[in-house]
Amino acid sequence: AMEKLFSKELHVTVKCRDIRLTDNGDPYFLFNLTISEEDFQTLKVQQGLLIDFASFPQKFIELLNLCYSEQESDSPRFLLYLSCQSPVLEGSATFTVVETNAFKHLNHLSLRLAHGSDNEVKEYLAVCLSSLKVEKQNLYTKLKKTEEDLSRQLSYAQQ
Amino acid sequence: AMEKLFSKELHVTVKCRDIRLTDNGDPYFLFNLTISEEDFQTLKVQQGLLIDFASFPQKFIELLNLCYSEQESDSPRFLLYLSCQSPVLEGSATFTVVETNAFKHLNHLSLRLAHGSDNEVKEYLAVCLSSLKVEKQNLYTKLKKTEEDLSRQLSYAQQ
């Protein structure tokens, strides 16, 4: 199954050479890839990359930004494709940055990500939960402050 | 390790004969027990219970409420104890309802709960996350409505 990425609003996290794919709408959707220098050398040969290991994260982020900047376009030049095994949440997913020009589809980079284990998903969800709790608490604080501020202004205006 | 339950603000969920123990402050804390009619008969003999299987959930909830109602007391008569293996999040936990009178500690009921697997914790966290998202959205809606209402009243009062 081929799937256009941004129809799912996926999140791509690149941290050093750790790549993580998540979906806000699906708590169990978690794919990971850690690229070692050795992995990168294999990838470089297989896919004919010209960049080196040190500049890979930055170049990868630039590619993602190209795709991101064209997500509103009717005929985007750069697209992300995600191809999953069935069922989606077992096994691996292949994540591909594709440029489409008048002649053909060009694969810029293709990465194979493994689905997170139950333990990894569990840890990921605990982090989500903890940051959502902070956001909810901040919202609650803001609500109380807004109520107070506006009530004070209101009672002042009504005097 | 013996641990007084409400120092941790645990949540006890009783749904038919499924008992679940969670802790808002610790996303990985999840203990489960499903009591079949057969399990119950063993429990009944071992612990000398007088209730039958059908009334067990209701009676158990009544015991919990007794404990809950005394949580503010300086010398509570009913207490919940949780005794865990070390490390806490592996293996099982024993959950005991204890009445203390002038003579002795009386065990009313003692249940052995198993720690949730990674998969169970994962599913539990996904449910938490989803309900927290709803709560956060409701709070956001309330904040916007409060801002609008009070601004409207304020501009009316200032005219």
* Inter-residue long-range contacts of A154-159, CB under 8 Å, 24+ positions, other chains counted: A154/B150, A154/B153, A154/B154, A154/B157, A157/B154, A157/B157, A157/B158, A158/B157
Q: How far apart are CA A76 and CA B28, in angstroms?
A: 43
Q: Do B128 and A130 touch (CB under 8 A)?
A: no
Q: How far apart are CA A74 and CA A100, in angstroms?
A: 13
CB A130 within 8 A of CB B125: no
Mean pLDDT of A80-96: 79
A-chain CB neighbours of B133 within 8 Å are 132
Tokens of A49: 């990359």
- The answer to whether B122 faces chain A, any CB pair under 8 Å, is yes
A-chain CB neighbours of B139 within 8 Å are 136, 139-140, 143
- The answer to whether A132 faces chain B, any CB pair under 8 Å, is yes
Cα–Cα separations (whole angstroms), residue B99 to B9, B44, B78, B113: 19, 18, 4, 20
DSSP code at position A8: S
Residue A90 above 90 pLDDT?
no
Q: How far is A48 from chain B (nearest CA, A)?
A: 39
pLDDT at A43: 92
- Residue whose token pair is 């119950």: B40
pLDDT digits (tens, 9 = 90+) for A98-137: 888 878 888 899 999 999 999 999 999 999 999 999 999 9
pLDDT digits (tens, 9 = 90+) for B136-151: 999 999 999 998 988 8
Beta strands in B35-153 (DSSP E): 78-84, 92-100, 105-115
Helix (H, G, I), strand (E, B) or coil at A136: helix
Please, what's the largest Cα pairwise distance for chain B?
77
Sheet of B2-4, strand order: B2-4, B78-84, B92-100, B105-115, B26-34, B18-23, B10-15
- Tell me the CATH number for domain B2-116: 2.170.210.20
Q: How far is B15 from chain A (nearest CA, A)?
A: 23
pLDDT digits (tens, 9 = 90+) for B4-54: 444 566 777 777 778 898 888 889 989 999 999 999 999 999 999 999 998
Q: How far is B6 from chain A (nearest CA, A)?
A: 21
Window A:46-65, CB contacts with B under 8 Å: none
Mean pLDDT of A71-99: 81
Domain edges within chain A: 2-116, 119-159
pLDDT band at A89; cut points 50, 70, 90: low
CB A8 within 8 A of CB A16: no
Q: How far apart are CA A150 and CA A82, in angstroms?
A: 48
